Amino acid sequence: MSQAHLHLGQTLSFVADPFEQGPEAVRVDAQGAVLVQDGKIADLGSAADLRKRHQKAAVTDHGDALILPGFVDAHAHYPQTGMIASWGKRLIDWLNTYTFPEEMRFADPAYAAEVAGRYLDLLLDNGTTTVCSYCTIHPVSVQALFEAAEARNMRVFAGKTCMDRNAPEGLRDTPQSAYDNSRVLVREWHGRGRASYVITPRFSPTSTPEQLEALGALWAENPDCLMQTHLSEQLDEIAWVKGLFPEARDYLDTYEAHGLLGAGGLYGHAIHLEPREKDRLREVGAALIHCPTSNTFIGSGLFDMAGLIAQGQRVGLATDTGGGSSFSMLRTMAAAYEIGQLRGTALHPAQLIWLATQGSARALRVDDKIGNLAKGMEADFTVLDLASTPAIAQRADRATDIWEALFPTIMMGDDRAIKATYVAGKSMMP
């Protein structure tokens, strides 16, 4: 058993869902402490109480910084790291112009390893401790990300992207190879350390019905895996899907008909949903993943957070790197707030933080392991400096409560606000 380590500072944890109970769902201790031992949270409470109970523990005092769960990014494309913030295209042209040429480079194991390591370090610099990422069609791209995550002991979800049509030569597999390669990767990586394999059809336009059927069969054989894909991101995409699947009732039906709708399903974007799609997603307990910086950057539309939450949908939050324009979940929360305002609902800071931590962990079905500060949880947490820049500091100085102090960092913060990031209790900052 390793030596216990006591972290002092302001602490933020959840006792309920703030979308249901408001800010009262969040417990903030202005003089709090977190005790870490063997990679898990062993105790949580006031600094005075924990100092008395654990007098032999090593101590790190973070001052008045805020200790909160590590951010959880529920939808990203790590192979797009190098072409993030590419100018001027909507979804389909953006894929053809920027994404597919870059993804072809991941046939090279050395290149995949280089980008995977760089990407995870960028996440850690921004306080993100868990990500759910698409890879490319190349199995080596999956190996690279899981190996980089294993070296950092990060809890990471990932899968081989599968495409057998409407993609360039060199980025297409087949129904059989998609099934076979994914099955091998499931056996090698799913449940190994902190790795989780995710079955990954990119989206219906790039998979034939035969490939979707094969991946649906693979999911049925491995029901403890998650499945990730895209749904109803843009109107021209939806029209494309209708042309490719004329027999389908709607976009979701292209997945449902092939065994790709279920409780472990992660459906990225989900902006332009039909009533039947909303009903079915809620009925099965699937997760919708909101990608706000991507939705505005590529001009996709405005996600109906308030309406979908009110209907009982399970919702996570994500950067969608590199369609999303930032690696930062702070910037992602800010964009979610802005989209909420455009739709007439101002999300409270408690709700934004929940979406970026426990909400996304819940979407990934691991909210019993990460996404909160609580006894027995894995010790993935970040430490926020609530006065990281002069502009933020002067606004926070006027704060009358924790939410007024935290909100300027959500809206204006970046990697400078990340004072420290811990993965399984280990500091990941240089």
333 contacts 352 by C-beta, under 8 angstroms: yes
Rounded-to-integer distance, Cα 43 and Cα 107, Å: 45
* pLDDT averaged over every residue in the chain: 96
**Domains detected in the chain:** 5-70+372-427 (2.30.40.10), 71-363 (3.20.20.140)
Tokens 């059989």, residue located:
176
**C-beta neighbour count of 412 within 10 angstroms:** 16
Q: What is the predicted pLDDT for the residue at 323?
A: 86
Amino acid in the structure at residue 419: K
Pick the closest to residue 100 from 83, 121, 112, 125 (CA basis): 83
Print burial letters for 246-279: b (CB count within 10 Å at least 16), e (below 16).
eebebbbbbbbbbbbbbebbbbbbbbbbeeebbe
Residue 143 has pLDDT above 90, yes or no: yes
167 contacts 144 by C-beta, under 8 angstroms: no
**Both tokens assigned to 62:** 């973070």
Q: What is the predicted pLDDT for the residue at 96?
A: 81
378 contacts 36 by C-beta, under 8 angstroms: no
Which pLDDT band, with edges at 50, 70 and 90, does 44 fall under? very high
Residue 150 has pLDDT above 90, yes or no: yes
Containing 209, the helix (H) or strand (E) segment is: helix 209-221
Rounded-to-integer distance, Cα 72 and Cα 206, Å: 27
Q: How far is CA 325 from CA 279, 295, 328, in A?
A: 31, 10, 9
What does the pLDDT look like over 379-392, one tens digit per residue? 999 999 999 999 99
| Percentage of the chain lying above the pLDDT 70 cut | 99
* Bridge partners of residue 314, in order along the sequence: 287
71 contacts 126 by C-beta, under 8 angstroms: yes
Rounded-to-integer distance, Cα 134 and Cα 310, Å: 29
Name the pairing type of β-strands 26-37 and 5-14: antiparallel
Q: How far is CA 10 from CA 27, 55, 72, 383, in A?
A: 10, 20, 20, 9
Helix axes 209-221, 175-189, angle to 10 degrees: 20
What does the pLDDT look like over 288-327, one tens digit per residue? 999 999 999 889 999 999 999 999 999 999 999 988 899 9
Residue 335 has pLDDT above 80, yes or no: yes
Side by side, the strands of the sheet bearing 58-69 are 40-46, 26-37, 5-14, 58-69, 381-384, 418-423, 426-427
**Both tokens assigned to 426:** 């280990």
**Both tokens assigned to 155:** 């809890």
* Higher-scoring residue by pLDDT: 362, 92: 362
Residue 118 has pLDDT above 90, yes or no: yes
Q: What are phi and psi of 33, to 5 degrees?
A: -155, 150
User: 292: which DSSP letter?
Assistant: H
150 contacts 159 by C-beta, under 8 angstroms: no
Q: What are phi and psi of 380, to 5 degrees?
A: -100, 115
Q: What are phi and psi of 177, to 5 degrees?
A: -70, -35
What does the pLDDT look like over 234-287, one tens digit per residue? 999 999 999 999 999 999 999 999 999 999 999 999 999 999 999 999 999 999
Q: What is the predicted pLDDT for the residue at 92?
A: 75
For the entire predicted model, the pTM comes to 0.97
Amino acid in the structure at residue 296: T
Rounded-to-integer distance, Cα 215 and Cα 360, Å: 24
Rounded-to-integer distance, Cα 164 and Cα 2, Å: 49
